């Protein structure tokens, strides 16, 4: 290869070879995309299998299902902020591969324990926590890597593609998970997730090795680097309110993760296979939202897209507690799809803005800070929803969650974002 044709991009304190993405047939981005797709498909199977194992096999209560959900996202509160510094300091490709292998081993322990007859709720909580810890570092690394392999003017399109891919796996994964749980059992279904992590690790391992890390920033300590990322987020006139909105949305999402399987199985008497299909309607909504995002932004601007999508998502959550048995279960499907469509539009808009308006050396810490705050709300929502369900019933808890969903649009309406046609 002629070295004069090689270009180098500086990202997060290290250089990454970018030539491959411009050469026909090499497909660096497409290997990255494929690994993400396979891994997310396995994730979606597990998102159905774990709570269904708890509800159907272990006869868990809504509070216990909430513990599993909370454990999976508690990692963002535990290591969310340091994750940005870790991604900055550790070899990126090697770290991503190791995180995939850790998750594969954790998930594979469930079918092993089931075969041995020792599977219990504590192990499901532990598996959720361990995979969550690895996912924190992995997700921050992925979000940081994307701007280094995609041109700035292509980020919105690539983020839409990744969100659309995620939506497609949300559409196929839960349905596949529900069918597998009914046919072969939840524990065996989780083998698929373990395999998906191994495939993802192999694809990431095949990417070009990043060049040696550039000199670190003046010897700044971990606390100082975390503080810089935190101050950038909370003081930014756009990123700050967007992070607050994402926190409100994820609180609702965490609550729905806890309440949905319990509500569908016990309140609406839905078969296990149908539960997967109903949960997959969220993926359908996300797929539609991701496909429409570029068009919506071009018509009303990124600021308008953010505000209207937040309101759209909140209003559709009120359909969830209105669902009933039989054909009335379709009300839940519509509400779930509408909520997910609104959320994915807002996610694409805000993620692209962060990636294009954050200094490269701050990007991993900014991504980690936003996710620490917003994803940290997921376990809180999960636990409070479980407690509310135990106290007043699942349907009432869903109605309270719908009321809470109005917080997101209210935050945006009271911030500087309300006047912006475009966030830039």
pLDDT of residue 389: 92
Mean pLDDT on 392-407: 95
pLDDT of residue 164: 65
What distance in Å separates the CA atoms of residue 356 and residue 354, rounded to the nearest whole number? 6
Q: Give the lowest-confidence range in 2-11, 50-59, 84-93, 285-294.
A: 2-11
Residue 152 exposed, middle or buried by CB count within 10 Å (0-12, 13-18, 19+): exposed
Has residue 395 got a pLDDT over 90?
Answer: yes
pLDDT of residue 161: 74
Which of 235, 294, 289, 259 has its CA nearest to residue 402? 259
Has residue 11 got a pLDDT over 60?
Answer: no
Has residue 115 got a pLDDT over 50?
Answer: yes
Q: Give the lowest-confidence range in 65-69, 246-250, 394-398.
A: 65-69
Q: What is the dihedral sign for C-alpha 266, 268, 270, 276?
A: negative
Which of 161, 156, 153, 191 has its CA nearest to residue 45? 191
Which of 400, 381, 408 has its CA nearest to residue 258? 381
Token pair belonging to 59: 């006869």
Return the CATH architecture of domain 3-419: Up-down Bundle (1.20)
Has residue 410 got a pLDDT over 90?
Answer: yes
Number of H helices, E strands in the chain: 16, 2
16: which strand partners? 9
Residues 390 and 63 sit within 8 Å (Cβ to Cβ): yes
Mean pLDDT on 30-45: 78
The more confident residue out of 333 and 14 is: 333
Token pair belonging to 26: 């090499």
Has residue 87 got a pLDDT over 60?
Answer: yes
């Amino acid at each position: 290869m002629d070295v004069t044709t090689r270009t180098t991009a500086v990202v997060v304190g290290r250089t990454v070879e970018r030539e491959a993405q411009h050469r026909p047939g090499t497909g660096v981005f497409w290997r990255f995309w494929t690994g993400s797709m396979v891994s997310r498909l396995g994730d979606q199977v597990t998102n159905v299998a774990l709570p269904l194992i708890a509800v159907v096999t272990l006869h868990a209560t809504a509070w216990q299902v909430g513990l599993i959900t909370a454990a999976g996202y508690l990692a963002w509160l535990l290591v969310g902020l340091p994750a940005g510094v870790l991604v900055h300091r550790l070899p990126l490709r090697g770290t991503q591969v190791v995180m995939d292998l850790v998750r594969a081993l954790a998930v594979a322990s469930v079918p092993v324990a089931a075969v041995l007859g020792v599977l219990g709720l504590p192990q499901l909580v532990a598996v959720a926590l361990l995979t969550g810890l690895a996912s924190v570092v992995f997700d921050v690394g992925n979000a940081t890597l994307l701007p280094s392999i995609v041109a700035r003017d292509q980020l919105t399109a690539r983020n839409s593609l990744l969100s659309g891919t995620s939506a497609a796996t949300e559409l196929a994964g839960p349905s596949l998970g529900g069918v597998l749980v009914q046919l072969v059992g939840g524990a065996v279904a989780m083998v698929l997730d373990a395999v998906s992590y191994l495939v993802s690790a192999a694809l990431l391992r095949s990417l070009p090795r990043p060049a040696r890390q550039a000199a670190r920033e003046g010897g700044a300590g971990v606390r100082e680097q975390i503080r810089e990322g935190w101050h950038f987020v909370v003081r930014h006139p756009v990123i700050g309110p967007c992070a607050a909105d994402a926190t409100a949305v994820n609180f609702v999402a965490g609550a729905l993760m806890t309440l949905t399987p319990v509500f569908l199985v016990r309140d609406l008497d839905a078969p296990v296979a149908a539960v997967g299909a109903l949960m997959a309607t969220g993926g359908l909504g996300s797929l539609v939202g991701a496909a429409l995002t570029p068009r919506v932004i071009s018509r009303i601007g990124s600021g308008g897209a953010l505000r209207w999508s937040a309101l759209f998502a909140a209003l559709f959550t009120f359909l969830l507690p209105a669902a009933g048995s039989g054909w009335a279960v379709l009300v839940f499907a519509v509400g779930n799809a509408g909520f997910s469509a609104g959320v994915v539009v807002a996610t694409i808009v805000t993620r692209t803005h962060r990636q294009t308006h954050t200094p490269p050396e701050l990007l991993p810490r900014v991504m980690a800070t936003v996710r620490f705050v917003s994803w940290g709300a997921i376990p809180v929502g999960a636990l409070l929803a479980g407690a509310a369900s135990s106290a007043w019933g699942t349907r009432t808890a869903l109605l309270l969650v719908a009321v809470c969903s109005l917080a997101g649009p209210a935050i945006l309406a009271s911030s500087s974002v309300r006047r912006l046609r475009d966030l830039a």
